[in-house]
A and B are shown apart, each in its own frame.
Chain A
Amino acid sequence: MTWTCVQIEERLSDYLDGLLSGAEQREFRAHVDACAQCAPLLAQVTHVIGRLRTLEPEPAPAALVSKILDQTLGPRKTKRDWFGWLPMLWQPRFAMGTVTVLATLLIIFQAAGVRRSDITAASLNPVRIFHAADSHAHLAFARGVKFVNDLRVVYEIQSRLQPASNPAPNNAAPPSAPSQQKSPNESQRNQSTNGSLTFVATLIPDAPTRSPR
């Protein structure tokens, strides 16, 4: 039996949904393959159905469920969640600020010399924090100056710039403490410290120079 275009159009969905028998499918295809009108129609309907089935369901409005429940079960008491605000802190904008605050506190406690196990209310006293930070800063500066002065290259530079102001290491003996036995290294360090001060002083035009003692 040869199908007409009208029959093809009437049974189009049956064909697409697999409701035709084997023989009907063959006759259907035979007509469509040879018909310039039915072939594009089948292609277009097939395409549209395919695209419809790829569409994701639209999301329902956020308040829909609560509105329905309010209308049916009545307004519900919202429990006060004391910690409901915590998840909000984990948004990127709040997380950055939170991390910065924690890092700042860590640095302050580090500078104040407060140990994690010793944290008390008194640890947060601003005066105490300031004094602790001040002493830490001075200690760090003094260690830095000592480190620089102990460098051999610094010593070499100083000794070349002002060789006359540096007495021979073996004869060095501080007159103020003759009973003290100082090691040559310690004598050198004293001289190098004094020498460095002298060296720095020479860079300042009007600064008085002191002879090393």
Chain B
Amino acid sequence: MEPDAQLVQRCLRGEGSAWEELVRRHSRRVYNICYRFTGNPAEAEDLSQDVFLRIYRTLASYRMAYGGFPTWLTSVTRNLLIDHYRRTRHDRVTDSLEDVMPKVEEKHSPVRTPDKAALASELSAQVQSALSRLSPDLREAVILRDLQGLEYNEIQEVLSVPEGTVKSRINRGRIELARVLQEMGLRPE
């Protein structure tokens, strides 16, 4: 597989196929970050397009000093998400943690055991609902660490904050997320 840095160089020489390869390689990851942050598939799709449009227009300004291409891409994604959040927070009904959190209804004696896909889908929905209850700072930290699997130093580059701040946000985000999910009925077996 051709390295991202090489694809970027080919893009800068005008090779459309290199850009297409970059898009195909990273679109799903960018979409997932946007989706987990916004909780809305349509918004996530629009924001993903905006991310790649921004990347395409500023590709010439990319330098290896920014870190790897994925880190730069994640950083641009995060910045657009925060901008989107600030623009739309007045339109949101509520994002307060003090709101009543929905409880997962207990299903009594299903005729047949739910299959793995259904359970995974239910968990995904629960996690999404719980993530939406976190503040943006804690939400993005948990998404980058536990859903995207970034290391602490990578998250530090993306967020442009000190390492101590990264650790603090991840820790508080995890604890808050655990408490929300516990109230929604997700507990250790």
A12 touches B174 (CB 8 A): yes
Give complex CA distance A187, B38 in Å.
Answer: 97
Question: Chain B 116-137, CB within 8 Å of chain A: the 1/0 string?
Answer: 0000100110010000000000
A68 touches B188 (CB 8 A): no
Given contacts A52-B147, A60-B28, A71-B53, contact A65 B23 (CB under 8 A): yes
Say yes or no: is A154 at the interface (Cβ < 8 Å to chain B).
Answer: no
What is the number of residues of chain B that contact chain A, defined by CB distance less than 8 Å?
A: 40
Question: Chain A 59-95, CB within 8 Å of chain B: the 1/0 string?
Answer: 1110011011101110000000000000000000000
What is the number of residues of chain A that contact chain B, defined by CB distance less than 8 Å?
A: 35
Say yes or no: is A27 at the interface (Cβ < 8 Å to chain B).
Answer: no
Say yes or no: is A161 at the interface (Cβ < 8 Å to chain B).
Answer: no
A72 touches B120 (CB 8 A): no
Chain A nearest CB: distance from B79 CB in Å? 18
Say yes or no: is A53 at the interface (Cβ < 8 Å to chain B).
Answer: yes
Give complex CA distance A159, B188 in Å.
Answer: 90
Given contacts A43-B188, A47-B188, A64-B48, contact A59 B28 (CB under 8 A): yes
Q: Which residues of A contact B186 (CB under 8 A)?
A: 47-48, 51
Q: Which residues of B contact A17 (CB under 8 A)?
A: 152
Q: Which of A48, A49, A54, A72 contacts B56 (CB 8 A)?
A: A72
B174 touches A13 (CB 8 A): yes
Say yes or no: is A10 at the interface (Cβ < 8 Å to chain B).
Answer: yes
Given contacts A41-B178, A58-B124, contact A67 B49 (CB under 8 A): yes
A45 touches B28 (CB 8 A): no
B174 touches A68 (CB 8 A): no
Q: Which of B41, B167, B177 contacts A48 (CB 8 A)?
A: B177
Say yes or no: is B156 at the interface (Cβ < 8 Å to chain A).
Answer: no
B175 touches A45 (CB 8 A): yes
Give complex CA distance A68, B24 in Å.
Answer: 10
B178 touches A48 (CB 8 A): yes
Chain A nearest CB: distance from B155 CB in Å? 12
Question: Chain A 27-58, CB within 8 Å of chain B: the 1/0 string?
Answer: 00000000000000101111111011111111
Q: Which residues of A contact B146 (CB under 8 A)?
A: 49, 52-53
Question: Chain B 16-51, CB within 8 Å of chain A: the 1/0 string?
Answer: 100110011001110110010000010001001100
Give complex CA distance A60, B147 in Å.
Answer: 15
A69 touches B20 (CB 8 A): yes
Q: Which residues of B contact A186 (CB under 8 A)?
A: none
Give complex CA distance A172, B175 in Å.
Answer: 111
Given contacts A48-B181, A71-B53, A72-B56, contact A58 B174 (CB under 8 A): no
A55 touches B124 (CB 8 A): yes
A-B contact pairs, 8 of them (CB 8 A): A13-B171, A14-B167, A51-B123, A51-B127, A54-B123, A65-B27, A73-B16, A73-B20
- A residues with a Cβ closer than 8 A to B are 9-14, 16-17, 41, 43-49, 51-61, 64-65, 67-69, 71-73
Q: With contacts A51-B127, A61-B41 known, what are 20 further pairs, Cβ within 8 A?
A: A12-B171, A13-B167, A13-B171, A14-B171, A44-B182, A49-B174, A52-B127, A53-B146, A54-B120, A55-B120, A56-B120, A57-B29, A58-B35, A60-B48, A64-B27, A65-B23, A65-B27, A69-B20, A72-B53, A73-B16
Closest 6 A/B residue pairs (Cβ)? A13-B171, A47-B188, A60-B31, A72-B56, A52-B146, A48-B178
